[in-house]
Amino acid sequence: MKKKILVVDDNMINRKLLCKILQESYTTIEAENGRVALELLEQKREEFSVILLDLIMPEMDGYEFLEVQQRNKELSMIPVIVMTGQEDDATEIKALSLGASDFLSKPYKPEIIKHRVANTIKLRENAAMINRIQKDQLTGIYNKNYFYERCSELIKDKPANAYDMICTDIERFKVVNDLYGTEKGDELLIFVANVIQNLCSPEEICGRIGSDSFGILTPHKETYQDAYFTDIIEKVNHFDINMQLTLRFGINNVEDVHLPVNVICDRAMLAADPIKGKYDVHFSFYNDTIRQQMLTEQMITDNMQKALDEKQFTIYYQPKYDITTESIAGAEALVRWIHPINGFMSPGEFIPLFEKNGFITQLDMYVWEEACAELEKWQKAGHEMVVISVNVSRMDIYNPDLPDIIAQIVKKHHLQPKNLHLEITETSYTENPQQLIKTVNELKRRGFLIEMDDFGTGYSSLNMLSELPIDILKLDMKFVQNEAMNPEGKNIMSFIISLAKWLDLTVVAEGIETAEQVRMLRNMDCTYVQGFYYAKPMPSDEFEQLLLTTPLTEMVAAGSKIVSMTPKPKRKNITGKIMMIVDDIALNRTILAETFLDYYYIVEAEDGQQAIDYIERHPGEVSLILLDLIMPRMDGFQTLEYLKKNRETANIPVVITSIAGEKSEERALKMGAADFISKPYTPSVCVRRIENVMASEKMKGLEKNIREV
Ligand code: C2E
Ligand code: MG
Ligand code: MG
């Protein structure tokens, strides 16, 4: 198809002449002035490859036309050749300055006209193509390849250290796409690209180097002001979205001018990694530590396969203890790398890398295999069986054959699935919940027990608990350690423990290092712990010795009917009396138990029926009952009624625990309750109220004695 040319001239003869010259190679359309030309363009703007424009015309002259045409982004893409009456420098310069591409002077010489038109079209097409090659289609700034190319030229032109590469990406960009749609995501990218481009001075260049990442090559500076970066972040946050946007900047001073630009950018990006998620640090430099880390990573990658083949990986075992009986309830298999030159390496040094490069799946299989072999050995030696838990990396979850693989290993070593617990880290859920739910269901179906590792570190915790059929919750050690230090946090922790109990999950607290932590966990009714306080991870022979000298216990699922039947050893003013706390909500029980721990042995029950069962089986032992009114099965009123009409129990003082200001309190007092404590509980008020109740009970007793004397 022939290209179209728009010929704009008020002189009909001129128009016909031009059309005649061009018609052989082009389709021509005529307009007798600027206004008509604009109307035509309005209708079919993309169709014209070039506009031939006379300057002097009635209605709308050439200058006016150029002004309007150049202001319109799309129209301005069509090149304009201006036709001037004679060689007139001033006119030509003015036309060119208004945006014309070229000019032709009358009288028309056909060959020159054809030549100039062809040239102009070619030039514009080249420009469009170059644009496509150089510019990122979405954002309009340099694309990755062209940015790298330009950087490479600039860098090689100057000595080392002349430039810095600054790279950045939009934190949680994926969330923007997920929550607001990709269209909004695209808009954000365009917005950020604009902010960055506007910031660039003529000595700097910028480009889009990844889906949501950008690079800026800038003349080297010794120092950077935080304001430079916070200013960019502030501008980016003008984007219309209901979410705080953050960028982190990594800076790499270009020392080696021969390094490929993509490597220079990778390193700048790497520099930003450690500050991700820190809200008050906005930029960071690529330095020796990061370089060293890269070299170490390289060394590990080069050696890992050989290490696996040569069995340089060893399994250590760390026992899990039941703190009520101080017996061993299981152990976790933890891998160690004993390198012939580098010596002992902790998983923290290589697991994150293996997770990145995928090697973890091989290593994990090796560990499962070794752990099962060890179990088989113990079984053959006639030892009592202990449960071993192995770690299952989030990478393993992606493998659809995972359940088959584990099941086969277990079978090969003549074990039952219940001998092997699988620890899955919480972050697997955050990354791919659907896949994880599917895998866990399948593993459960085959009889494996699932432990949720590092619970408390992710964001999805509570949501996850309702969706995943897990058996055991491992409270992350940072969580345990922080909470122990911070008394207010104890409530959160005891809440999680109560919640877990409520969901029938066993809780194992990880990273227990002190007696204080153990004491706190005992009070919170957490039975199982793993930590240096009891034992560090140890080689298998040591663990075997330990097993032979320590009692073993089976780790049971929680949700036993009466949560704690054994009176706990207490501290300060312990009276030797038993207080029974009856409440269906574990957290409430825990708070009350915590409050009275210093004064009573505590027994807890989940409803009236359980409470009465216990009291009848232990006549005369319970000296005080804290009774919640609203409970399933047998509520507080029914319980109170039963207790009061029964001779053996009528004298046990019952203190009602209820929401403040409820009518029901009056009713309960009429029914014989001694007093009430209202929620939310204030420890000092609770203690005082109970002191009063007990004092008045004593008085009653005295009065009775006096009367009887
Ligand atoms: P994890 O599964 O949460 O294992 C518990 C980590 O806490 C172990 O670190 C253990 O030595 C450490 N630990 C136990 N008690 C205490 C304590 O009282 N205080 C302190 N500060 N630390 C304690 P380790 O062995 O260095 O392993 C680190 C992580 O590496 C593990 O965390 C696990 O995520 C991963 N890992 C270890 N072995 C394997 C494996 O075979 N496969 C996979 N996929 N990951 C593994
Ligand atoms: Mg673990
Ligand atoms: Mg853990």
Average pLDDT of the segment spanning 456-478: 75
CATH class for the region spanning 144-286: alpha beta
CATH class for the region spanning 3-134: alpha beta
pLDDT of 466 strictly over 80: no
pLDDT of 637 strictly over 60: yes
What number does CATH give the domain 322-332+358-534? 3.20.20.450
Q: Residue 342: what pLDDT?
A: 84
Q: Could you check whether the bond before residue 260 is cis, i.e. omega within 30 degrees of 0?
A: no
CA distance 238 to 380: 69
Ligand 1 nearest atom to the CA of residue 347, by list position:
30
Average pLDDT over the chain reads 87
Name the least confident of 128-137, 433-442, 675-684: 675-684
* Higher-confidence position of 233 and 427: 233
Ligand 1 nearest atom to the CA of residue 453, by list position:
3
Rg of the chain on CA atoms, in Å? 39
Instruction: Kindly report, residue by residue over 144-187, the tens digit of the pLDDT.
Output: 999 999 999 999 999 998 999 999 999 889 888 888 889 999 99
Q: Residue 288: what pLDDT?
A: 85
Q: Choose the residue to mutate in 361, 391, 472, 518 for probing ligand 1, maximizing ligand atoms within 8 Å of C-beta.
A: 391
Instruction: Kindly report, residue by residue over 59-111, the tens digit of the pLDDT.
Output: 999 999 999 998 887 788 889 998 877 666 777 778 888 888 888 877 778 88
Hey, do 3-134 and 578-708 end up sharing a CATH topology, with the first three levels equal? yes
| pLDDT range class, residue 126, cuts 50, 70, 90 | confident
Name the least confident of 96-100, 483-487, 547-551: 483-487
Given CA atoms 373, 374, 380, 384 in this order, what sign does their dihedral have? negative
| pLDDT range class, residue 462, cuts 50, 70, 90 | low
pLDDT of 485 strictly over 60: no
Structure tokens at 140: 């309009």
| pLDDT range class, residue 558, cuts 50, 70, 90 | very low
Average pLDDT of the segment spanning 334-339: 96
Instruction: Kindly report, residue by residue over 365-413, the tens digit of the pLDDT.
Output: 999 999 999 999 999 988 888 999 999 998 899 888 999 999 999 999 9
Given CA atoms 535, 538, 541, 544 in this order, what sign does their dihedral have? positive
pLDDT of 490 strictly over 70: no
Centroid of ligand 1 to alpha carbon of 381 (angstroms): 28
Name the least confident of 244-258, 358-372, 552-566, 608-622: 552-566
Least distant ligand from the CA of 365: 1
Average pLDDT of the segment spanning 322-339: 95
Structure tokens at 457: 């570190």
pLDDT of 303 strictly over 90: yes
The structural domains of the chain, with segments of one domain joined by +, span 3-134, 144-286, 322-332+358-534, 578-708
CA dist 577 → 568, 598, 610, 651, 685 (Å): 11, 11, 19, 15, 20
pLDDT of 570 strictly over 60: no
Neighbours of 557 (CB within 10 A): 11
Q: Residue 306: what pLDDT?
A: 96
Q: Residue 123: what pLDDT?
A: 79
- Do the beta carbons of residue 166 and residue 216 sit within 8 Å? yes
pLDDT of 262 strictly over 90: yes
All residues at 6 or more sequence positions from 73 whose CB lies less than 8 Å from its CB, including other chains? none
- Do the beta carbons of residue 76 and residue 31 sit within 8 Å? no
Neighbours of 189 (CB within 10 A): 22
CA angle, residues 147, 151, 152, in degrees to nearest 5 = 115
pLDDT of 561 strictly over 60: no
Q: Residue 112: what pLDDT?
A: 84
Tell me whether residue 39 is exposed, middle or buried, using C-beta atoms within 10 angstroms of its C-beta: 0 to 12, 13 to 18, 19 or more: exposed
Q: Choose the residue to mutate in 359, 480, 510, 517 for probing ligand 1, maximizing ligand atoms within 8 Å of C-beta.
A: 510
Q: Domain 578-708 belongs to what topology?
A: Rossmann fold (3.40.50)
Average pLDDT of the segment spanning 655-678: 81
Q: Which residues line ligand 1 (CB under 6 A)?
A: 318, 334-335, 346-348, 351, 360, 364, 367, 391, 393, 423, 453-454, 477, 510-513, 530-532, 537
| pLDDT range class, residue 686, cuts 50, 70, 90 | confident
Burial 424-437 (b: 16+ CB within 10 A, else e): bbbebbbeeeebbe
Centroid of ligand 1 to alpha carbon of 329 (angstroms): 18
Q: Whose CA is nearest to atom 25 of ligand 1?
A: 334
Q: Residue 559: what pLDDT?
A: 31
- Do the beta carbons of residue 693 and residue 674 sit within 8 Å? yes
| pLDDT range class, residue 571, cuts 50, 70, 90 | very low
Pairs from 683-686 (Cβ < 8 Å, separation ≥ 24): 683/595, 686/592, 686/595, 686/596
pLDDT of 458 strictly over 70: no
Instruction: Kindly report, residue by residue over 502-536, the tens digit of the pLDDT.
Output: 677 899 999 999 998 898 888 888 889 999 999 99
Please give the share of the chain, as a percent, with pLDDT higher than 90: 52
Ligand 1 nearest atom to the CA of residue 512, by list position:
18
Structure tokens at 421: 């617990």
CA distance 249 to 171: 11
* Higher-confidence position of 635 and 371: 371
- Residue keyed to tokens 């880390």: 293
Q: Whose CA is nearest to atom 22 of ligand 1?
A: 511
Name the least confident of 62-71, 301-310, 464-473, 540-549: 464-473
Ligand 1 nearest atom to the CA of residue 532, by list position:
18
Q: Residue 486: what pLDDT?
A: 64
Instruction: Kindly report, residue by residue over 203-237, the tens digit of the pLDDT.
Output: 999 999 999 999 999 999 999 999 999 999 999 99
Q: Residue 489: what pLDDT?
A: 58
